Amino acid sequence: QVQLVESGGGSVQSGGSLRLSCAASGATYSSYSMGWFRQAPGKEREGVATIGTNLSTKYANSVKGRFTISRDNAKNTLYLQMNSLKPEDTALYYCAACNRCQWWLLDETDFGYWGQGTQVTVSS
């Protein structure tokens, strides 16, 4: 199993940037595909970006060109660089992991391991 802890959330004005981190422990991190998901108040959780074990990536259309997902297997850490933030990016952001899954579908049901979430608030 893998344990995940997110950090880096906060409040920022529209157009600003934040970098989220997700520290993994308890398993061979490099063997897991990873992803970032988010849930805004009153909405369902949605996929933001995912990255496979081969470092291929997939993004939701709403963040493409603004967000970048990356991973450092030596540090067992996943990142999400968020630029040009918009108020509609306000949500609780979750880190997730899956093994032998269809990570490119951005479907939360493929991911079996989750962090507790970190809040991102973007004001206009």
The residue-averaged pLDDT of 36-62 equals 97
Separation between Cα atoms, residue 24 and residue 75, nearest integer Å: 9
- Give the DSSP letter of residue 93: E
The residue-averaged pLDDT of 75-93 equals 98
pLDDT score of 27: 76
**What is the pLDDT of the chain when averaged over all its residues?**
96
3 state SS of 38: strand
The residue-averaged pLDDT of 37-48 equals 97
Vertex 95: Cα angle to 90 and 100 (nearest 5): 140
* Confidence band, pLDDT 50/70/90 cuts, at residue 26: confident
pLDDT score of 1: 85
The residue-averaged pLDDT of 49-77 equals 97
